[in-house]
Amino acid sequence: MPKVKKKTLNLRGNVLDLTTPVVMGILNVTTDSFYANSRVLSVDQAVEQAGIMISEGAALLDIGGYSTRPGAADIGSQEESERILPIIEALRKAFSNVWLSVDTFRASVTRQAVEAGAVLVNDVSGGTLDPQMFETVADLNVPYVLMHMRGTPQTMTQHTAYQNLIPDILFETQMQLAKLRALGQNDVLIDPGFGFAKTPAQNFQVLNQLEAFQTFGAPLLVGLSRKSTIWRTLNIQPAEALNGTTVLNTIALTKGADILRVHDVREAVEVIQLVSHCRSAA
């Protein structure tokens, strides 16, 4: 039997209630993220963009300094930290009504970011790229997003061969989750990793069977926003993929998503409101 899904997160003493799904806005402190409008290149720009997202209803902001799009350049941990720490510090001072997440797969960056004010760690590698990550997160006692990925951001497109897609992803995720639980980590979110070591056809299969990820009893984070699965399928560009994002986010919500990680906050908030009204009318 599936476990009863946890519906709260402890964010450094504050409770985030996920009874109604929430939105995580994306702030990429990079020059080469696949969607140009998500890039923030200065502290002032980050504060301005964060203010817009908060006004539109974002509960969380995810700050990342390492581009994980296929083929993106690798950067060192020092450069990654130098990109994100001033942003985290500035946002913490500027806004008291939003929680900050750090998007990193490095333990050293994680520790610095949490010390600067982040209260959640979003690791695209699910702990596979830094052997110190799980111990660091457990020591810091902050919620952790365990995402499924194979390989690295530079090689993940070469790792899309699965014997049985959904069972394989569930098994690999469970192996990492068990390691976290053994360290006493309670607050874990699961992200199936759309676009990471998965073809567009596989991404649609994962979305179609998203309910399977409820078996972990953990909140489910979904990141489909403007990804190539949408724009390649529709033969458009990322800048034109908002409508497709809304469609897939709607499906994700009906299949159990608790957090939508998006570039476009207002539209995602509206999706949550409409799906919630539909459910309450049942």
Tokens 């390989």, located at residue: 151
Strands (E), 20-150: 22-28, 60-64, 99-103, 120-123, 144-147
Report d(CA 279, CA 181) in Å as an integer: 33
- Catalytic residue set: 227, 261
Report d(CA 67, CA 171) in Å as an integer: 27
Q: In the numeric block, which tokens belong to residue 125?
A: 């590698």
Strands (E), the chain: 8-11, 14-17, 22-28, 60-64, 99-103, 120-123, 144-147, 188-191, 221-222, 259-262
Report d(CA 254, CA 261) in Å as an integer: 16
- Which whole-number Å values give the CA distances from 243 to 203, 240, 248, 275, in the listed order? 17, 8, 9, 16
